[in-house]
């Protein structure tokens, strides 16, 4: 059987690949608030403060942008953070019987730094 001799440098390619993988940023996701005709404005502001930890001024700005433009970016998060917050909004909005909805958009696709 032929013996394979590993010389110094042979593994370099693998190590470089590994380093590149480690340099990749985690993909980030945009949470976007959608307007609707029924959810009270105060409720939207309250949920932005409660779920996203925005202050009242910023929450009011985001709510008004969604109200007038149809949608507004709430923030950019990791996948887990974004999906957890969207699930929290869904659950609380459902409890209060409001149709308030947030959606997820891909912000960045793991480029190297
Ligand atoms: N358009 C709603 C109203 O007039 C208020 C609202 C604002 C609802 C923003 C959702 O994301 C939203 N009561």
Q: Please list the rounded mean pLDDT of every run of 10 residues in the chain (113 residues).
A: 57 59 77 98 98 98 98 97 98 98 86 51
Residue 23 lies in a domain: no
Give ligand 1 pocket residues (Cβ under 6 A).
33-37, 39-41, 44, 63, 66-67, 100
The reported pLDDT for the residue numbered 94 is: 98
Of the candidates 29, 52, 17, 8, the one whose C-alpha atom is nearest the C-alpha of residue 109 is: 29
pTM (global) more than 0.95: no
User: Ligand 1 centre from 45 Cα, in Å?
Assistant: 10
Residue 21 lies in a domain: no
Which whole-number Å values give the CA distances from 19 to 15, 16, 27, 47, 111, in the listed order?
A: 6, 5, 17, 41, 13
Residue 59 lies in a domain: yes
Residue 1 lies in a domain: no
CATH number at residue 72: 3.30.1390.10
Structural domain total, the chain: 1
User: Ligand 1 centre from 43 Cα, in Å?
Assistant: 9
């Amino acid at each position: 059987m032929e013996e394979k001799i590993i010389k110094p440098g042979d593994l370099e390619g693998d190590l470089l690949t590994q380093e590149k993988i480690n340099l990749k940023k985690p993909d980030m996701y945009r949470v976007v608030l959608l307007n609707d005709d029924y959810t009270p404005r105060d409720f939207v502001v309250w949920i932005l403060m409660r779920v996203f930890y925005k202050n009242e001024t910023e929450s009011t700005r985001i709510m008004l942008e969604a109200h007038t433009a149809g949608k507004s970016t709430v923030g950019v998060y990791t996948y887990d953070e974004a999906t957890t917050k969207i699930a929290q909004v869904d659950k609380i909005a459902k409890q209060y019987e409001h149709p308030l909805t947030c959606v997820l958009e891909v912000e960045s696709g793991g480029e190297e730094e």
